[in-house]
Amino acid sequence: MSLGLVVGDSPLVLAGFTFGGHVIMPRDIPVGNGSLLVAFDCEYRIRDLFFPHVGLENHAVGHAFRFGIWVDGQWSAMGPEWLIERRYLPDTLVTDVKAMQERLRLELLCHDAVDFHEHVYLKKIIVKNPTDQPREVRLFFSHDFHLSGTEVGDTAYFDPRTQAVIHYKGRRYFLLNCCNPTACGVQYYACGLKETQGLEGTWKDAEDGRLSGNAIAHGSVDSTVGIALQVPAHGQGVVHYWICAGTTYREVVTLDQVVREKTPENLLRRTENYWKLWVNKGLCPAWEKLSAKVFRLLKQSLLIVRTQIDNGGAIIAANDTDTFLFARDTYSYLWPRDGAFVAAALITAGYSEISRRFFNFCARIIEPEGYFLHKFSPDGSVGSSWHPWWRDGHPELPIQEDETALVVWALWRHFEHFHDVEFIKPLYRSLIVRAAEFLAHYRNEDTKLPEPSYDLWEERRGVHTFTVSTVIAGLRAAANFAGAFGETDLATKYRLVADDMTEALRRHLFHHDLNRFARAAYPTPSGDYELDTTIDASLVALWYFGVLAPNDPLVESTMEAVHERLWVKTGIGGVARYEGDAYHQVERSDRQQVPGNPWFICTLWWAQYLITRAQQTSDLQEALRLLEWVADHALPSGVLAEQVNPYTGEPLSVSPLTWSHAQFVIAALEWLEKRRALHREAGPPLATTG
């Protein structure tokens, strides 16, 4: 497990946690601009580098880009020897990393960013010398590129024209350079082989404070560059380092010239200013009614969400290559479901330009028959899948129908918020009506329920309460659009199907003996359904999408069961996904106490239920405590994982998970809106904590 230290008020994580025999390191300070994404692990090493799409292609594939210091004849690479605090500068996507090495008697203050406009990653390193003697400090940066996801056929070489090292393969070029206060250009360099013939890479060459000067290598290669810095006694010095990303030699050389001419310092400053403008564009005084830590996480969540969104419109679930260890695949895909929830959060926060790109992307990838396949790469190609087209001698449609329904549901939220008729017009036939026709016809004519599809957790095929609720919501949204566009026959048709489906939901999925809704119904050969009564947090869909009222007795009894059975009864708390959840399972025996690991999404759903049920301002206190619970279990940078360990609170699975941040944004803004409504109706403002 990770070793946590506290220096002052700052928790410092020195290593990742162990799961299944592997060390998993959360990506806790991603920086990006929608085309270039750079993600660090908890030892402050670049581990993922995506270009030209967020989520595609990964040119590091989880291999560490090491960063080391040589001083006074001693060497140390960033890692367990260092005390590292990883945060962002307030309201920005510029990191604020403090690192201290007692043996070397050095302190570093680092700022990383991807320029908001140019495809350049920048690092500023302030080296502080607390000793009585002036010192020469040599900084080394190693690059374990696997261009386009593989080490085969890469080339690394020293380019005398730019005094930089360049890695290239095909249409992918990366230029690596640095400067100190007196000169630009690398002073030390080495290009060499790795992962072959027992060779570890050129980073080993740096341990004596020098590099071989080998000028080129091809195949499975890496490189290391270095620069020296003179630091006065009790003083400090500054080094800048950068990576330019492009598709040709000329592109990266031009970017290198831009960095030199504008200076890395100015590029960092303008990027800091840009993100402050971006995150505060929708800021209103009411946001400050949140507690301080919830307010901070609300803004940081919006920024972190933005790092996971490709400029082409794909909202990526997560970009954390450590998931390779389990299935040789990643979360670096667009799931239309996740994308719809994230779009809903951005819509609520006022970011219409991002949601527009997402819906345009969806219009491009929807099947002619009106449904979305499982998941997609950021360029719009179909992603990997484990849902079969053929089962037991019969064809079946390998979809999660909620994904189709939720895109239409989210699009109506967009239109309600922004009323941008000209944006909606080209999507009306191509996306809205196409999807609604599929939702209306993909159902059992006898029961009026949807035909079976996979659940939102992608594990079971059946007729799920969550899916049915989203289909009803999607049809109602389509009916609203049809009515707005004057097609009353279509509007009536979609509403009637939604109403029939709502009655069928009550009739077939409510278990009268248990007095609650079932998670799913599985068709039997007799034409009836067998109910799955496992308690699942996704039952929130009954009220979340407006299918039934939150105070409907059937909803109340269901939600009481969700809270009673899924609340994690350890010192950590939080809501599990469902009873007996085995994904990244920590507790395998005491399921009464720990039904599964706490998920941020599921805990926030419960908070939203409390918010929607609140009748007076005091009723909002418990929901606020849950928002603060999320803030308390975020990493120091504000990054939220998918789930946390039920005993230690450490992050589990991918990190950051875009949906976790989006759900936090929605819940926090809903809390503010409900507080405003209740305060307007009755009395004094609600006191906040934190």
Q: What own/partner pairs with CB < 8 Å and gap ≥ 24 does 96-101 have?
A: 97/29, 97/44, 98/10, 99/44, 100/7, 101/69, 101/76
Tens-digit pLDDT profile for residues 637-688: 999 999 999 999 999 999 999 999 999 999 999 999 999 999 876 544 444 3
Identify whether residues 303 and 358 lie together within a single domain: no
What's the mean pLDDT when you consider all of the chain?
93
Query: Please, are residues 189 and 211 in contact by the beta-carbon 8 Å criterion?
Result: yes
Identify whether residues 389 and 303 lie together within a single domain: no
Q: Last residue of a domain, which of 217, 237, 268?
A: 268
Q: Confidence band (pLDDT; 50, 70, 90) for 198?
A: confident
pLDDT at 129: 97
Average pLDDT, stretch 496-524?
Answer: 97
Q: Does the pLDDT value for residue 458 go beyond 50? A: yes
Identify whether 438 is part of a domain.
yes
Q: Last residue of a domain, which of 535, 566, 597?
A: 566
Query: Please, are residues 38 and 65 in contact by the beta-carbon 8 Å criterion?
Result: no
Identify whether 82 is part of a domain.
yes
Identify whether residues 118 and 264 lie together within a single domain: yes
Q: Last residue of a domain, which of 566, 596, 620?
A: 566
Identify whether residues 141 and 229 lie together within a single domain: yes
**What domain count does the chain have?**
3
Tens-digit pLDDT profile for residues 353-381: 999 999 999 999 999 999 999 999 999 99
Identify whether 4 is part of a domain.
no
Q: Does the pLDDT value for residue 442 go beyond 80? A: yes
Q: Does the pLDDT value for residue 4 go beyond 90? A: no
pLDDT at 688: 38
Question: What residues have CB less than 8 Å from 411, skipping those under 6 apart?
Answer: 359, 424, 427, 431, 432, 477, 481
DSSP state, residue 567: B
Identify whether 7 is part of a domain.
no
pLDDT at 328: 64
Identify whether residues 432 and 479 lie together within a single domain: yes
Average pLDDT, stretch 149-155?
Answer: 95
Identify whether residues 484 and 399 lie together within a single domain: yes
pLDDT at 159: 98
Strand spans (E) along 72-153: 74-77, 83-88, 95-101, 106-114, 120-129, 135-143
> 362: domain range?
337-566
Nearest to 652 by CA among 590, 598, 575: 598
Identify whether residues 83 and 153 lie together within a single domain: yes
pLDDT at 13: 35
Average pLDDT, stretch 255-267?
Answer: 98
Identify whether residues 379 and 448 lie together within a single domain: yes
User: Between residues 8 and 232, which one has the greater pLDDT?
Assistant: 232
pLDDT at 283: 72
pLDDT at 235: 97
User: Between residues 10 and 61, which one has the greater pLDDT?
Assistant: 61
Q: Does the pLDDT value for residue 1 go beyond 50? A: no
The conformational region for residue 366 under phi > 0 = left, psi -120 to 50 = alpha, else beta, is beta
Tens-digit pLDDT profile for residues 296-330: 999 999 999 999 999 999 999 999 776 544 456 78
Question: Which two three-digit tokens encode residue 67?
Answer: 């960063």
Identify whether 574 is part of a domain.
yes
CATH (domain of 102): 2.70.98.10
Tens-digit pLDDT profile for residues 596-638: 999 999 999 999 999 999 999 999 999 999 999 999 999 999 9
Identify whether residues 527 and 640 lie together within a single domain: no
Average pLDDT, stretch 570-576?
Answer: 97
What's phi and psi for 120, nearest 5 deg? -135, 125
The conformational region for residue 197 under phi > 0 = left, psi -120 to 50 = alpha, else beta, is left
- Considering the chain, what percentage of its residues have pLDDT values greater than 70? 93
Identify whether residues 549 and 634 lie together within a single domain: no
What's phi and psi for 399, nearest 5 deg? -125, 165
DSSP state, residue 434: H
pLDDT at 195: 85
Q: Confidence band (pLDDT; 50, 70, 90) for 20?
A: very low
Nearest to 50 by CA among 40, 63, 35: 35
Identify whether 330 is part of a domain.
no
Coil/strand/helix, residue 261: helix
C-alpha separations of 481 from 342, 477, 478, 663 in Å? 21, 6, 5, 25
Identify whether 318 is part of a domain.
no
pLDDT at 682: 53
Q: Confidence band (pLDDT; 50, 70, 90) for 27?
A: confident
pLDDT at 649: 95
Identify whether residues 260 and 291 lie together within a single domain: no
Identify whether residues 600 and 524 lie together within a single domain: no
pLDDT at 327: 56
d(CA 91, CA 102): 31
Identify whether 302 is part of a domain.
yes
pLDDT at 648: 96
